[in-house]
Chain A
Amino acid sequence: MLLEINNLDVRYGRNHAVKAMNLNVDDNEIVAVLGANGAGKSSLLKALHGLVPVHAGSIVFSGDDLTMKSSAERVDSRLALVPEGRQILVSMTVHENLLLGGYRRQGSTLLDDIESIYERFPNLGERKDSQASVLSGGEQQMLAIGRALVARPRLIMLDEPSLGLSPILVDQLFELIKNLRGEGISILLVEQNIKKALEVATRGCVMELGSVVLEGASDSLAKDSGLVHAYLGTQN
């Protein structure tokens, strides 16, 4: 098992964001986490990456207990997070953003990896010396994912990656997610776009008020989408 989340509890003051949550991600798997706003999805990802403290429970990633480890150590274990809203460093160039993606890496292969990001996303290559602030929304999302890839992750956590993208770009994004899995990278995908998320995912779960209320193979969840929508409070 690549990622094991056992009885995870995350609290901010009085707000109990994640309650005794259990979830696993296997090698070469895409797991979709669905849920309405405020269900605790972003808190889950932040806790998994060490950006907010864990109140109880444990996070085990490729055999290491990460529960008490810093974000930096989690990057070293090859866990990456592409946060909600991309959080591109807009005061820096595209190239500097990618260099920072490899901040924890040693050695000379970093520049080769960045070069391969430019091959994968030619738009970024053309603008490598431009300020990241001039990129379009789609390009910023590519940069955010590229920046995570530079760290050579085994698991990428994507928080609402399709938010604010046009339908064509959304299609490209999900194509990219599928391709990444083909390259041996597992993905934990938090999404509002239920249909698309369940199309690419192997498994999925629905969170409500900090707990998993529904879990299963993604095709069975897709078949039973009425139930999923009922939990999310959305129209089928």
Chain B
Amino acid sequence: MLGSIYVTVAVAFTLTIGILNFLNFTIPAIFMITGVIAWAVAAHWLPLGVDGGLAWPLAFIIGIVAAVLASLIVERFTFRYLRIRHGDATEHAIPLVSSLGFLIIFENLVLIAFGSEAQAFPEKFKSDFYIGEIIIGLPQLMSLAISLLVVAFLSWILKTTNTGRALRAIAENPDTASLLGVDVRRIVPLVFLFSGLLCGVAGVLFVVNYSDVSPYMGEEVGTKAIAAMVLGGLGSIWGAIAGGLLVGLLEALSIHFFGADTVDVAVWGTLLIVLILKPSGLFGASRIGKGKL
């Protein structure tokens, strides 16, 4: 079940859209970069130096660091650049397009470096256990716990810290935030740092559960995460969590009852029906637009 990965990526989307009103299309690539870099480190470079026990955590950490760096690069050259040149970047669709450009560039750089086939990790994480007749993968259970823990920590930061309040102030009104002394330009990279971190964690969870990486591994997860975010309620962190779990559940159920081909129809069909009945999503506030976080 991909639920926990959808949750984490959906929250990454929610951060940039909730605070900056920016649908960051590069997120799937950032998720992918974690997996591919972790794989590259584990498969090619680490056996030369580090051995055994430390190799995996180290590969994952390097993967997550790569994701955060990639996310900050995107901030520097889409969001900040446009803000400096054209004022309020949140009013433009241009960052959206340039983030799409980064998605394609990142994917193709990885393709040039490692080829287009899926690469398997040298080792699988297998430790399933049974409750009655239900198979529960230990990695899956851990994934859910880790993703919820990371998201809960993030939401605690947003709720109670000075920086979190500043971010929420920017979400509601960047002008008010700056007149209170919030240095918007300095604090915006934090949003990208957090969302990069979430993508990194999601990438690691994906690798642990599926052991395959490829340049396009982010696309399906990314689009499903967008669906999850909108399903749960745009701009709400708890909505993104609920949406992610729901999309994971919908997938599992539709595979079980109707076969693997029906998955996308089930997920996107449900999304469209929910949006017709309740345009703000299942758990979204009634306000649609900027500043909901």
Decide yes or no whether A89 CB sits under 8 A from chain B. yes
CB pair A87–B183 under 8 Å, yes or no, is no
Contact in complex: A91, B166 (CB < 8 Å): no
Question: Cβ of B175 < 8 Å from any Cβ of A?
Answer: yes
Residue B224 at the chain A interface, CB threshold 8 Å = no
B172:A90 contact, CB within 8 angstroms = yes
Tell me, in angstroms, the Cα distance from A96 to B166 when the chains sit together.
Answer: 10
Residues in B with CB closer than 8 Å to A71 are 178-179, 181
Digitize A66-78: 1 where CB-to-B-CB distance is under 8 Å, 0 elsewhere.
0000111001100
* Closest Cβ–Cβ distance, residue B90 to chain A (whole Å): 16
**CB pairs A–B below 8 angstroms (8 shown):** A51-B175, A51-B178, A83-B176, A87-B173, A92-B168, A100-B166, A101-B180, A104-B181
A-B contact count (CB 8 A): 61
Q: How many A residues touch the partner, as a band?
A: 20 to 34
Of chain A, the residue at the smallest CB distance from B292 is A91
Chain B CB within 8 A of A49 CB:
yes
B182 CB within 8 Å of chain A: yes
**What separation, in Å, do the CA atoms of A196 and B265 have in the docked complex?**
66
Q: Does B162 sit at the interface, judged by CB under 8 A?
A: yes
Q: Does A151 contact B (CB under 8 A)?
A: yes
> Does chain B have a CB within 8 A of A21?
no
**Is there a chain B Cβ closer than 8 Å to A99's Cβ?**
yes
Task: Please measure, in the bound complex, the distance between the C-alpha atom of A67 and the C-alpha atom of B21, giving whole angstroms.
Answer: 30
Contact residues, A30-85 vs B (CB, 8 A): 49-51, 70-72, 75-76, 81, 83
Hey, which bits of chain B sit against chain A, CB under 8 A?
A: 162, 165-166, 168-169, 171-173, 175-183, 291-292
A81 to B175, CA, bound (A): 12
A75 to B168, CA, bound (A): 19
B191, chain A: closest CB distance, angstroms: 17
Give the residues from 145 to 181 in chain A that come closer than 8 angstroms, CB to CB, to chain B: 147, 151
CB distance from A117 to the nearest CB of B (A): 15
Any B CB within 8 A of the CB of A103: yes
| Contact in complex: B179, A99 (CB < 8 Å) | no
Q: Contact between B180 and A75 (Cβ–Cβ < 8 Å)?
A: yes
Which of A90, A91, A101, A104 gathers the greatest number of chain B CB atoms within 10 Å?
A91
CB pair B181 A103 closer than 8 Å: yes
Verify A70–B183 contact, CB threshold 8 A.
yes
Chain A positions within 8 Å of B173 at CB level:
87, 89
A51 to B179, CA, bound (A): 7
| Inter-chain contact B165/A100, CB cutoff 8 Å | yes
Task: Please list the 5 inter-chain residue pairs (A to B) with the smallest Cβ-Cβ separation, ordered nearest first.
Answer: A75-B181, A104-B181, A87-B176, A72-B181, A72-B183
> B169 to A92, Cβ gap below 8 A?
yes
Residues in B whose Cβ lies below 8 Å from that of A99: 162, 165
Contact B181 A49 (CB under 8 A): no
**A103 contact from B166, B291, B292, Cβ within 8 A:** B166
Other A-B pairs, 10, CB within 8 Å; known A89-B172, A92-B172 = A49-B179, A71-B181, A72-B182, A75-B181, A91-B171, A96-B165, A99-B165, A100-B180, A103-B180, A103-B181
